[in-house]
Structure 1
Amino acid sequence: MEEISAFEKFELQLDSTAKDFLKETAKWAYFLSIIGFIGIGFLLLIAVFAGTIFSALGTMQGMGGMGASFGAAMGAAYFLMAALYFFPVYYLFKFSSNAKKAFRDNDSAALTESFGYLKSHYKFFGILMIILLSIYALFFVFAILGGLMGR
């Protein structure tokens, strides 16, 4: 016969204060996700018009070789930023909408799903931070090596 531990019998209950905190968190997460989607829209607009803007700048006096190729590179960079920014904003939006639905309909499955999206949101930022710190560490190592070789 299989024994069930005391921890497995434990069921977490949310009191009214915790529910109020989660409701308010969902509202702020919704607001931040909407602002994030607007920001993504601006990034995409910049990505589309970067080629035109930088091509026009390239024809100005003293701008040298900066032209259409630089504009295309800037457009691609802004598009990449928008694509990268989309996922955490989407996860935050899904967290907020599912959390609001969970409290409106008293649906524990929706609350569980909302926490899954919140986990994905923070997991994305955690992985991104690891990647950025690794890149910074590589730059630091190459800067030291470059300084030592320059002597």
Structure 2
Amino acid sequence: MEEKSAFETFELNLPPVILGFLKETSTWTYFLSILGFIGIGLMILGGLFFSLAMNLIPGGNPYAGLGVDMSYFGMFYVVIALFYFFPVLYLFNFSRKMKSALNSNNNDELTSAFSNLKSHYKFIGIFTIVIISLYVLIFVFAMIAGAM
């Protein structure tokens, strides 16, 4: 008979206080992810509406002389919404899988839930680094342009 390792026989054995915290956290993350999906939908609708409206309004493009189409500004919101979709999806998956893990006492679901939470924070962290880097580059270029 083959003996199982401690990792294979590990059961979800957390104190009730921690289980309560995880259940409450999954409830709030579910709520926030639903709000995130609603916000993404509104951003997409707003961006598309702005793109269409600016092209239909006579004289609605003050930058026409520069060759800039105002519909690009609306499409910018659509692109931001698409980037925002992934961390919201990870948060939604975390909350669903955490509820499932707590209800069924399933370690695989718990692992999957925390994997989604890790992915959520990893995406937000990388996105934050990219945005801060862009701000630094814009600041440096503005300083160089101001010195000329």
Question: What TM bracket, shorter-length normalisation?
Answer: 0.7 to 0.9
Alignment of 1:23-34 (within 5 A): 23-34=23-34
Measure how far apart 1:29 and its partner are: 0.2
Assess if the C-alpha contact under 8 Å between 1:51 and 1:68 holds in 2. Answer: no
Measure how far apart 1:52 and its partner are: 2.1
Alignment of 1:72-111 (within 5 A): 73-111=72-110
Q: Does 1:35 align with 2:35?
A: yes
> Aligned residues, how many?
138
Alignment CA distance shift 1:12-1:52 (3 Å):
closer
Aligned equivalent of 2:133 = 134
Assess if the C-alpha contact under 8 Å between 2:63 and 2:70 holds in 1. Answer: no
Aligned equivalent of 1:122 = 121
Measure how far apart 1:75 and its partner are: 2.9
Measure how far apart 1:64 and its partner are: 6.5
Alignment CA distance shift 1:61-1:70 (3 Å):
closer
Root-mean-square deviation (CA, aligned residues, Å) is: 2.5
Structure 1: unaligned runs, 5 residues or longer: 1-10
Work out the CA distance in 1 between the residues paired with 2:31 and 2:61: 44
Structure 2: unaligned runs, 5 residues or longer: 1-10
Bigger RCO (CA 8 Å, 6+ sep) = 2
Alignment CA distance shift 1:28-1:61 (3 Å):
closer
Alignment of 1:54-73 (within 5 A): 54-57=54-57, 59-60=58-59, 63=62, 65=64, 69-71=69-71, 73=72
CA displacement, residues 82-137 of structure 1 (integer Å, 9 cap, x when unaligned): 10110000000000000000011111110110000000000001001110111111
Measure how far apart 1:61 and its partner are: 7.9
Assess if the C-alpha contact under 8 Å between 2:100 and 2:109 holds in 1. Answer: yes
Identity of aligned residues (%): 45
Work out the CA distance in 1 between the residues paired with 2:117 and 2:87: 9
Assess if the C-alpha contact under 8 Å between 1:92 and 1:121 holds in 2. Answer: yes
Assess if the C-alpha contact under 8 Å between 1:96 and 1:114 holds in 2. Answer: yes
Alignment CA distance shift 1:70-1:43 (3 Å):
same
CA displacement, residues 35-91 of structure 1 (integer Å, 9 cap, x when unaligned): 11111111121232222211233x1489563899212x0232121011011000000
Look up the equivalent residue of 1:85 and give its one-letter code: Y
